[in-house]
Amino acid sequence: MIFSCSVEENIAFGTQLAKAQLEHISILLNLHADVLKLPDGYDTLLSATGAASLLTDAMKRRIGLARVLARDSPILLLDDPVAGLDSNSKQEIFRALEGVMSGRTVCGSHSRMKRREGRGNARACQRQREPWRASLAT
């Protein structure tokens, strides 16, 4: 979800995040370089219509993930963070997630896993540095 405010405010929404911390999170999510290409960088104003169209769907997802990471939660619950994205964008999101999962418990669902397995809802969890484990819900 993109709010009607700047990129910086979208990421730091509800937190007192310093600019350096915000940029660090953006770098971890492979978002920083894309934000710097926007007309006013982190100060670019976004809205549901208009400037938000400057963002790709993957950038919107990474801004949302950055907002989650700004809270520095030890547990992340992700409900299909790549739904509706093309395969390249999905890979961007998964690469970004791999870079921020260390030290966190991450649980999420992914519809592609569901289609691949052909039954049930697929779920995957990672705790700290352990590999992803998939299990099928009954």
Whether residue 1 lies inside any domain: the answer is: no
Q: What is the CATH number of the domain that holds 57?
A: 3.40.50.300
Confirm whether 87 is domain-assigned. yes
Residue 45: inside a domain: yes
Residue 2 lies in a domain: no
Residues 10-31 have pLDDT tens digits of: 999 989 989 999 999 999 888 9
Average pLDDT, the chain: 77
* DSSP code string of 78-96: EE-TTTT--HHHHHHHHHH
Between 73 and 6, the more confident residue is 6
Domain for residue 114, yes or no? Answer: yes
Asked if residue 108 belongs to a domain, the reply is yes
Helix, strand or coil, per DSSP, at residue 40: coil
Which domain does 86 fall in, by range? 7-136
Residue 106's beta-bridge partner residues? 76, 126
